[in-house]
Chains A and B, each alone.
Chain A
Amino acid sequence: MELLSYEFAQRALIGALLIGVLAPLVGIFLVQRRLALLGDGVGHIAITGVGLALLMSWSPLPAALLVAVFGALFIEVLRDRSRVAADVAIAVVFYGGLALGVLLVSLAPGGASTKLNTFLFGSLSTVSMSDLWVLGAMTLLIILVITFWGRQLFVAGLDSEVAMVQRIPVRVLGVVLSVMAAATVVVGMRVVGLLLVSGIMVLPVAAASQFGKSFSSTLGWAVLVGVVCAVGGLLLSFQVDVPPGPSIILGALVVFILAVSWRLVRHLQGARA
């Protein structure tokens, strides 16, 4: 743990903590709407943003954020205003984003492919101080939105028609959720990586859903699982010198398998009794 005395490691740790809290907080509203793969689609189109930044020598974070927000809104419009189903809309953005991103990186000056790898699977050394301020501000903003409109987001996700009758701005909230998902993807880009960030949005929620009996208790458990897996996975990656993204996601996967097994055992015990 000597590594933690280095500033880059401390910055990575703070980044992991932020995404550990934020990802399940946004992810639970996506899972509730059966949009678990939205983060995946947005993560892939953010690769286009990173590719564009590498090609034009821009800062990757704002470029990725801009393109990710565009991609998330595009999915929302396709889903809501056309006859394209949600999973197909996500797939369109997923493949289009990945293809365009790889194309732009291949056109970028030498070394861009190696840099891209750090964005795809996360990196311990790429979280800069300015990144951390941006990530912290986005996290705070999202937490404020959920504090004030969390109940409306919950009702709209539970039953959109009843929510409309109750004059809840369902469409606006859909857009807000899409933008929050895009921002979360970008917050997680540095530590977890664009290809895996959706995992930390979905797996802690899927695990917590196995033992939660209410939406609020599931949310609490999901954030706990998210923080433990993000910080634990990062510390593990310090120890064994692997990218942090895979170790964080594999940690969340282990928790998910344990939760499903626990529920299965309880179900079998209940059936025997």
Chain B
Amino acid sequence: MTPQLKARDVSVSLGGATVLKNVSFELSKGEFLAVLGGNGSGKTTLLRALLGLIPISAGHVDIAASEVAYMPQRLPNIGSVPVSVKEFAEAGAVRGVRAGVKPASVQWALETVGMWPLRRRSVDSLSGGQQRLTMFARALVNRAELLMLDEPSAGVDVEHQNEVLSCLQTLKTQNTSIIYVTHELGLIEPLVDKVLVLERSERASVEYFGALPWPSGMYADVHHHHDDAALSLGANLGVSHADLSPLLKS
């Protein structure tokens, strides 16, 4: 079967510095790829390069999917003129020079993320989490075959995170391919088919690409990072190691 997306030896240089080097992977229909890596490892750059928003310095990208939707990490500048939640979601349905907004799709997308009751509110009056849900709804509205999501659930409360994940699960069963950029697997682990771990390196940017579970050594390492993060957060909140133990993986 032809993959929905195929990246071969993709390298990206920005301002003279190599940000990504020799990234290769494939994504088939209905597959869920988690892109992991620390700050500055090039996760967002990879998405933008795949989408053609920044030039690649080597390699090539083939996208077979006819419709692609993108949810960027940051909310665009909307403070100057008010934009309602409904208008923001509708923006996801405009393709090329055709208008073609389907009201039922907009309502479905906003209901899916629980934002339909707030559709008349101005986006700049929402909380950070609600703004991300609205951005997620915009990415959903055209029911694209390939979704590229850059940290979609950052700042979103657990209840709505579950709604996002349940929606992604449904889309996956409907053959939507999903690339999900995140700092840690956390709640998305059950959905993940493949993982691409990026690292800053002179040799190659890909630390690991493959299916879960992790190779044994790496698995422990990732859990170790998870536990470190949980302990650090607990220390900041004044929560003891004993209280955190149900959350720790190793």
Contact = CB atoms under 8 A, between A and B. Distances in A.
B179 to A, nearest CB: 13
Interface of B is mostly: loop
Nearest to B85: A214
B72 interface: yes
A214 B76 contact: no
A215 interface: yes
For chain A, give the interface size range.
20 to 34
Given A155-B94, A166-B92, A214-B86, A161 B72 contact: yes
A154 B86 CA distance: 13
Contacts of A36: 80
14 contacts: A34-B80, A152-B99, A158-B88, A161-B53, A162-B70, A166-B94, A166-B95, A166-B142, A205-B81, A213-B121, A214-B122, A215-B84, A215-B87, A217-B82
A165 B91 contact: no
Contacts of A32: 80-81
Interface string B46-88: 0010011100000000000000111010001110111110111
A218 B80 CA distance: 11
Interface of A: 28, 31-32, 34, 36, 149, 151-152, 154-155, 158-169, 205, 209, 212-218
Contacts of A217: 82
B97 A149 contact: yes
Contact of B97 (A34, A152, A205, A216): A152
A214 B95 contact: no
A31 B78 CA distance: 10
A166 B83 CA distance: 19
Given A213-B121, A213-B122, A167 B84 contact: no
Nearest to A27: B81
B191 interface: no
Given A162-B70, A162-B138, A168-B96, A214 B80 contact: no
Contacts of B120: 213-214
Contacts of B92: 162, 166
B231 to A, nearest CB: 37
B171 interface: no
A206 to B, nearest CB: 9
Contacts of B51: 161, 164-165
Contact of A34 (B72, B77, B99, B122): B77
B101 interface: yes
Contacts of B86: 214
A167 to B, nearest CB: 5
A146 to B, nearest CB: 12
Given A165-B68, A165-B69, A214-B122, A155 B91 contact: yes
A168 B97 contact: yes
Contact of B101 (A151, A164, A205): A151
Most chain A CB inside 10 Å of its own CB: which residue of B52, B86, B120, B122: B122
A160 B78 CA distance: 12
